[in-house]
Amino acid sequence: MAAIQANAVNILYLTAAICFIFSLKGLSSPESAHGGNGYGISGMIFACIAAYLCTNCTPIDFAFQLTVLTIIIGGTIGISIAQNISMTSLPQMIAGFHSLVGLAAVLIAFSVYYAPWLFEIVPPGSAAVPASSFAEMSIGAAIGAITFSGSVVAFLKLHGIYKGHRIPLSLNAFLCSSIVCLIVYFVTTKSSTVFLLLTILAFIFGAALIMPVGGADMPVVVSMLNSYSGWAASGIGFTLHNDLLIITGALVGASGAILSYIMCKGMNRSLINVIFTPEPSVASPDAATEIKPFKQGSPEDAAFILKNAASVIVVPGYGMATSQAQHALREMVDLLKKQGINVKYAIHPVAGRMPGHMNVLLAEANVPYEEVFELDEINRDFSCCDVAYVIGANDVTNPAAKKNPGSSIYGMPILDVEKAKVIMFLKRSMGTGYAGVDNELFYSQNTMMLLGDAKKTTEAVVKAI
């Protein structure tokens, strides 16, 4: 009977792992994302059934009832958050969920340390825990603590509660080296005091690591924290001898790391540069900037130009997220397409506050996937485009990234909107973006500034059309 149960658990774990792999594959494209979510949910159900079989519990046991109760409570909270969260707040929700994964890893590591027999690592009453288990639980706890505190800081920054502070590089280097030394010392001594100290330092290091990161770099931070949460889960999987945790954690960790690399490549920077370059100070415009002449247009002017264009490329940025202009934008594009105008959407890899932020917003407005193009696919089309309709995308369209070696965004690949015949910028004001760099396109002869709330402006354009 025990052998049959063990085989059933292994089959369920394997099935769950396969479902998670297909889930990641599905989530790689908006068209298959719904199916990917379905695979992920199925995999989690299989994993929960396998976990139940491992416990030898029956429905009348208190432990089983308590577990079911916590699943119901947690699931209810999760559904409530998911149903009520706005698309603008999606990045901080993801950061918040990452923090819970990290905290779970810390709590499991301490549970294993104080009661290893409950996890069948050693026989009941035995204290002979293998040294490898101490290494795994300390690494898992450290990564989990870094993930938790780093995600909390990211949540606060994304939500606008905390602006960030410059942290000396020497402090972060000291914390990192101290954690590594304490892990080695803990494996040698197995001291509870050392374990507690390295965990506390990991909490501090996680917060200090994210504090100085600029708002424009948050897409990289979100994907990096996602990777951390995966490695934390994988480390605890080794401690618990749980193959599914190891596989799933490795999948999440590796995919998050790859995504971080893609984000960094999109900014032409390294991950080290993103994490250890402090957030630039965004100064108010100086007198010279304030008196620069620029062309300010009205929604009626924009509507006239758009109706007489043959091709339009829409460039969404964080301004679209803050104003929730995606539905009005979709309505405007539908009107233009009815008049035979070719319209496409251009997405920069790091536009918004999380990977794929603009894609999510456009999907919410039911924008057809085939009309949305990445930077490499659409950049060549700007030169033959009549109108570039830019909504709050400042830094990812700034020519300073190509022309000014002294600029903080120099070398970052940008969308070549300056090649369009007419550029329309929708912004609340003439202020700079998150990088704190003024965009010379605002003052170009072929640029029309549409100042104000992007949603209200686009709705006015729709009315004029």
Sheet holding 372-374, edge to edge: 372-374, 342-347, 311-316, 387-391, 422-427, 447-451
Separation of alpha carbons 47 and 154, rounded Å: 30
Could you give phi then psi for residue 255, rounded to 5 degrees? Answer: -65, -40
Q: Which of 423, 400, 276, 286 lies closest to 346, judged by CA?
A: 423
Separation of alpha carbons 446 and 393, rounded Å: 17
Residue linked to tokens 């329309």? 424
Neighbours of 340 (CB within 10 A): 7
Residue type, 88: T
Active site residues: 395
Neighbours of 421 (CB within 10 A): 16
The number of angstroms, rounded, from the C-alpha of 374 to the middle of its chain's C-alpha atoms is 18
Q: Which of 194, 193, 109 lies closest to 148, judged by CA?
A: 109
* Exposure letters 131-142 (e unless 16+ CB within 10 A, then b): eebbbbbbbbbb
Residue 84 DSSP SS3: helix
Strand-strand pairing, 447-451 and 422-427: parallel
Q: Is residue 367 within 8 Å of 330, Cβ to Cβ? A: yes
Between the two ends of the chain, the Cα-to-Cα distance in Å is 73
Separation of alpha carbons 409 and 151, rounded Å: 25
* Residue 315 β-bridge partners: 390
Separation of alpha carbons 401 and 437, rounded Å: 10
